[in-house]
Amino acid sequence: MLDAIIAHYNYWLVIFLMMIGLYIVISRGNLVKKIVGLNIFQTSVFLLYITLGKVNGGTAPILTDKPETFSNPLPHVLILTAIVVGVATTALGFALVVRIRESYGSIEEDDILATERAEDEIAVNEALS
Partner 1 sequence: MSLLSEHIPVLQVAVPLLSAPLCSLLRGVRLPWLLALAVSWFAFAISILLLIQVMDSGDISYHMGNWAPPFGIEYRVDVINAFVLLIISGISAVALPYARLSVAHEVDPRRHGQFYTAYLLCLTGLLGVTITGDAFNIFVFLEISSLSAYVLIAAGARQDRRALTAAYNYLVLGTVGATFFVIGVGLLYMVTGTLNIADLAERIRPLADNRAVQAGFAFIIIGMGLKLAMFPMHTWLPNAYTYAPSTVTVFLASTATKVSVYVVLRFLFTVFGPAYGFVGLTFEYIFLPLAILAMFIGSTAAIYQTNLKRLFAYSSVAQLGYIVLGIALGNIAGLTATVLHLFNHALMKGALFMALGCVALRIGAVSINGVRGLGREMPWTFAAIAGAGLSLIGVPSTVGFISKWYLILGALENSWWPVALLIVASSLLAVIYVWKIIEAAYFGVAPEGRGPVAEAPLEMLAPLWLMVVANFYFGIDADLTTSVAGKVAATFLGSGS
Q: How many residues bind partner 1 (CB under 8 A)?
A: 34
Pick from 88, 114, 118, 122 the residue near partner 1 by CB under 8 A. Answer: 88
Report how many helices (DSSP H) and strands (DSSP E) the chain contains, helices first: 5, 0
Contact between 47 and partner 1 per CB under 8 A: no
- Closest to partner 1 by CB, 71 vs 75, is 75
| CB neighbourhood size of 95 (10 A) | 10
Asked if 48 touches partner 1 (CB under 8 A), the answer is yes
**Residue 116 touching partner 1 (CB under 8 A):** yes
Q: Give the separation between CA 23 and CA 71, rounded to whole angstroms.
A: 33
